[in-house]
Amino acid sequence: ALSVSPPEAKPESDEPVEQDAPPAAPKVDSKSIPSASPASPSKAPAVAPAPSGGKVYAGPAVRKLARELGVDLVLVAGTGSKFRIIKDDVHDYVKAKINAPASANSGAGISAIPDIDFSEFGEVEEVPRSKLHKLTATNMHRNWLAVPHVAQFNEADITDLEAFRADLKAEAEKKGVKMTLLPFLLKACAKALEEYPQFNVSLHSSGEYLIQKKYINIGVAVATEAGLLVPVIKNVDKKSLWELAAEVIELSDKAKKRKLTLEEMQGGCFSISSLGAIGGTGFIPIVSPPEVAIIGVSKTQIKPVYIEGEFQPRKMLPFTLAYDHKAVNGVDGGLFATYLAKLLGDIRHMI
């Protein structure tokens, strides 16, 4: 938080001084401004009624503070004599910007969607959103705007995988672990990340280089009553299917009980979002930076597949690979998705 400095010891000149901001700063018509009164602490600072020509009333100490904080003094309302800007005005302006709630409907350069009085059309009720729902919405909105998404659609023939999983049922009961499809997805994704390490990277904010990761941690999206949580399973490539199955159950249970630690939700390289239990033929998941890719898995369907001169019923798993085109090329996306389908189609390739 910013500390508020005490008022200047010496009075500063009320003479306007040429502002360091760009000369194209907006001008304000003084006739359209009502008589000013000292700013209330509970209100966000308004645009300052700066004199024409981009000049503002502020002393050297205030200007230095504004430069350090990256504040354009043209936008700051002065509460001193003759609208002179003091240090408290700069601090209040910065605090208001930091604490201002982001609009749920606006984006970079996009005007907000106006609110409508829906009660004109019938009975309505305002339903408060949880903190997690609001945080998820903010992150998803930011990610969708910041990442140029490309989606690669594919299907995997998991007929043999499902037969093998059914054979493990008795062993799973003895171990007290439910063997779902997810551990196989985790192992397949880890193997694909090893084969195509260009997906196991993060793009540095400067855009000058990529950070190549030598570890494989995969996040798994879990829907809870409070909202979406993504626990991260560490070192997937080094764990067995049984270890992954147990960890998936443990972390999913902790997520639903809101008992995940911060450490258990950090360090992901890649993510899996599965709607297989719900249905649907496909969807495009949103990449969550600093990761550069995610897969969305839909419901398995039995389809006729032409094999060796005849159609055979096969269990086909539709999935979508979404990736950040700033970091990953389209050809690599196609290769990754094809390789992932190959691994799921013949689990011997995971060994």
Instruction: Give catalytic residue positions.
Output: 325
Check: CB of residue 7 under 8 Å from CB of residue 86. yes
Tokens of residue 246, six digits: 């147990």
* Residue 26: CB atoms within 10 Å: 9
Give the pairing of strands 210-212 and 228-229: unpaired
Element of type H or E holding 157: strand 149-157
d(CA 301, CA 279): 10
- The secondary structure of 38-58 as a DSSP string is PPPTTS------PPTTTEE-B
The 3 state secondary structure assigned to 118-135 is HHHCCCCCCCCCCHHHHH
Q: How far is CA 170 from CA 32, 159, 166, 226, in A?
A: 80, 19, 8, 35
Check: CB of residue 245 under 8 Å from CB of residue 177. yes
Tokens of residue 9, six digits: 């010891």
Q: What is the DSSP letter of 327?
A: T
The amino acid at 103: S
The amino acid at 308: E
Check: CB of residue 187 under 8 Å from CB of residue 241. yes
The amino acid at 119: S
* Residue 87: CB atoms within 10 Å: 19
Angle at 173 between CA 171 and CA 179, to 5 degrees: 75
Cα 48 off chain centre by: 34
DSSP three-state, residue 86:
coil
Closest CA to 313 of 164, 158, 165, 169: 158
